[in-house]
Every structure is written in structure tokens, then in C-alpha cells.
Chains A and B, each alone.
Chain A
Amino acid sequence: MDLRRLYLTGCVLVVSGCASAKLTVVQALPSPEEKVTLSIEHVPPTEITPGQESEFRTILTSRLRESGVTVVSGGRSDVHDVNGKVAKFRPGVRALRYFIGFGAGRGSIDTTWEVRDESDRPIGICQIVGSITMGVFGGNFNDVLEKVGDRLGECLRGGM
């Protein structure tokens, strides 16, 4: 294998293994969202610690704001609610990703997001899955969560 092919293969491996998230639209939103409330729940047997959930939520709200979607405090009836169900939340092991690689210590997340209107009727659904197998010193799982936030922003702002 000559050097060019080796270099290209290395680039493909790095790009495919770094933090990424994929969006699948199940039900398109009728119009873009600008303000929403956000709720997150995990689907058993997925386990998320309160600290992890708090950080995930903070990361999502920050990324959504950068996407042009403002998350407001709950309890408001004048905005739509975005409810996220986390079916898989595995940060993986960074040390394994760094020292071993080849999929060892892989981090992954599997989520489904449902937008409900004021009458609690679902008006949009999207699925976002993310993963990381490599990165700088093994990569940080929070990079995946940021990608999930970016994809969610695309869902909500794009009007799907």
C-alpha cells in the first residue's frame, strides 16, 4: 500500500471514529422552533446518573442556543415541549480508546426526540444516534453530546 493510500486510509479512520451524531427524521415539524422547554428521560435498562443527566442537559441547551433555539424554564404553556428519551448512554472508556483503539472503549448514545404542542399532541419526531471510537487522547464523550445537540438544533430549526 503506497503512502497516499495509507494517508487516505488514516484520514478516513480518524474522521469516522471521531465524535459524530446522525439525525433521522421520523415526523417532520410543520415549522421551525425558536423557543422550547426541554425534558429528558432515560428508557430502562439504560442508566444515567443525575450528574450525567445534568451535564447532558446543560450541553444540549448550550448547543441549541447556538443553533438559534432557546430552551426556557419548564412550566410554560406558551411554548412547545421537546421530550427526549435516551435508550442508550454509554460514555465508554477513554483510556481504552487512546491506548488500544480499534473500537475498544467505544462511546455511544441513542436518543429519540418528540416535540409536543400546547395540547400535548406530538408534532415532530427525530432520532439521533452518536458515537466516538477515537480522538485526541481517546476523545471526550462530551464531544458526542455536543454533536447530538447540534443535530437536535438542525431538527428544530430546519422545520424538518
Chain B
Amino acid sequence: MSDSSPSRPAQILATLSCIASLGCATVFGSTSQSVSVVTDPPGAQIVDMPSGDSFVSPADLVLSKRDTHRIVISKDGYQTVEFGLRREVAARWWILGAFTLGIGIAIDGMTGALVDIKPAEIYVALEPTE
């Protein structure tokens, strides 16, 4: 009778693949998200904390979901606006992760893919400085 069982390295590889695929959001979702910022008037400087990346409005900011972001919007002649983006657990990945006995949730939590950054679209009307 021949031994048809897979080799040990193949078994290890298969096990690791299964574990990795338990991070549903990490595999099928994304660890970054685009946030649209539009200002009136346009041409304001947008700085993202903590990365320090700078943009000019209107802009689509691609932000890492692992970090908590705060954006500072400024323009000469107008009051500076600071706005904190919040990270909310995406229910769909949480529910799917429940079938992975929590391993998937842990993986997605570490990569940041478990959350959505809100709001995804920001519109700011800058107020003139007095």
C-alpha cells in the first residue's frame, strides 16, 4: 500500500495558508482607505497626523487604517480647522471573523483591516479670519 499523505513541508504550508486566510478583511479588504477632503475655497493645505503628509485641497488622502488620524486644514486668511477621523469596526468583517474563532479578528485587528475610517468624505467651509 503506497503512502499518499502529503509531505510534512506541504502540511506546514497548508496550515500556514489556512491561518493567514483567517484574516478575512486583510485578505479580501484593505489595510488603507481613501478619504476625500474638499474645502471652500479650494487650495487649502491639508496635513495628516501622525504621518505628517501634506496635501492641497481638493484631495483624496490614502490613509493607513492602523493609525488614528487627525487632519489639520489651513489657508492664509482663513481659520485653521482640525478634524479627527475615527476608526470604527466594520461589522461585516467582525461577523465573518467570528467564524475563525477570533484568530481572523486578531489578524485583521493587527493589520488595521478590521476597521473603516469615518467619515470617508469631508467637506469644510473655511471661515475668514477677522
Contacts and interface: CB of A to CB of B under 8 A. Distances in A.
Given A73-B41, A73-B78, A55 B125 contact: no
Nearest to A139: B88
A127 interface: no
B124 A58 contact: yes
Contact of B121 (A62, A74, A136): A62
B102 interface: no
A65 B123 contact: yes
B53 interface: no
Contacts of A38: 125
Interface residues of A, number: 22
A71 B128 contact: no
Interface stretch (B6-14, B21-29, B79-87): B79-87
A58 B88 contact: no
A40 B66 CA distance: 33
B84 A55 contact: yes
Nearest first, the 10 A-B pairs at minimum CB distance are: A71-B125, A65-B123, A62-B123, A58-B83, A74-B127, A61-B123, A73-B125, A75-B128, A61-B125, A62-B122
